[in-house]
Amino acid sequence: MMIPYSPTDPVENALCVLGIPLDHNSSFKRGAAQAPDRIRQCYASDSSNLWTETGIDLGQLDCLHDAGNVEWASRETAFSAVTSKAKTLLAQNNRLISLGGDHSVTYPIVRAVAKVHPNLNILHLDAHPDLYDNLDNNPHSHASPFARIMEQGYARRLVQAGIRTMNSHQRKQAERFKVEVHEMKDGLEGLSALRFDGPVYLSIDLDCLDPAFAPGVSHHEPGGMTTRQVLDLLHTLDGKIIGGDIVEYNPDRDFISVTGMVAAKFLKEMIGRVYADRQANS
Ligand code: MN
Ligand code: MN
């Protein structure tokens, strides 16, 4: 484990990392359920160290807490288990970063986050808009979480970047929900002007990256972001990041953990950013 592991202890004022080993809402390939534990292994790998690029030694960060993996009895109860665990952690004044799992997990997480942060903004990095009303008769598909979130009013603003699979249905959905979509074809220059008032939840689908940078995902969509562009965004975003998730990593397609190390790098820098933003406001 990356950090002192005590899932049964009540923790307060901590920065919690929570694993969600769920991939049954994935439309094309399973495998993302193995992601949380593989990302932890990569995080702790001696091939790197525990310092963020911004100068924080995560190995010395007392408030960092591994909350373990969410468990559930059946597919039908998985989302309520995720929301319940997230609510418990957030009620104790913790910040929460989740490791998916397929992207469907963002809905049950945000449903808990929005209760604590009512004016929530979401920044969503992905090759896909994930706005399907449903996919393959599954309204909780990994291609639908942001339709559910916006229908329920859990985010006052949704900004998407990295998008390169827009279709007519999802374009209609984006208009309906007033989503601010930054498509890859238009370049990433627009992102530098982004400003957020209020809390920001950052959802990183690893397929936002070009498959050259992150081949260990289920959907290889060429023409994506570089690892550096995501890191720069994490470091320089104008807003207060209060938590987020890293999803769609598929260890089954990641033979030497190249993509796992990318996920672990994003986790380190996200922890550093959430920690710094919290310090700046306390
Ligand atoms: Mn996604
Ligand atoms: Mn995606």
Residue 227: give its domain's CATH number. Answer: 3.40.800.10
Chain-centroid distance, C-alpha 218: 16
- Relative to the alpha carbon of 204, which ligand is closest? 1
What spacing in Å lies between the alpha carbon of 64 and ligand 2's midpoint? 28
Q: Is residue 248 a part of any domain in this protein?
A: yes
Token pair recorded at residue 259? 């993509």
The rounded Å distance from CA 143 to ligand 1 centre is 6
143: in domain: yes
* Residue 10, in any domain of the structure: no
Give DSSP secondary structure letters for 140-192.
TSTT-HHHHHHHTT--SEEEEEEE----HHHHHHHHHTT-EEEEGGG-SGGGG
For residue 192, report the distance from its CA to the centre of ligand 1, in Å: 22
What is the predicted pLDDT for the residue at 11? 83
Residues with CB under 5 A from ligand 2 (ion): 126-128, 205, 207
Contact 104, 142 (CB under 8 A): yes
Determine, yes or no, domain membership for 9.
Answer: no
Q: What's the start-to-end Cα distance of the chain, in Å?
A: 29
Tell me the ligand closest to 131's alpha carbon: 1
At 132-189, the pLDDT tens digits run 999 999 999 999 999 999 999 999 999 999 999 999 999 999 999 999 999 999 999 9
Cβ 33 vs Cβ 103: under 8 Å: no
Q: What is the reported pLDDT for 9?
A: 66
Domain count, the chain: 1
Residues 6 or more apart whose CB falls under 8 angstroms from that of 105 comprise 20, 22, 82, 98, 145, 245, 247
Is residue 4, in this structure, part of any structural domain at all? no
pLDDT for the residue numbered 27: 86
Question: What is the span of the domain harbouring residue 178?
Answer: 15-280
What does pTM read for this prediction?
0.97
Q: Is residue 96 in some structural domain?
A: yes
Contact 72, 78 (CB under 8 A): yes
Contact present, 129 and 163 (Cβ < 8 Å)? yes
Q: What is the mean pLDDT of residues 28-42?
A: 95
In a domain, 228, yes or no: yes
* Domain assignment of residue 2, yes or no: no
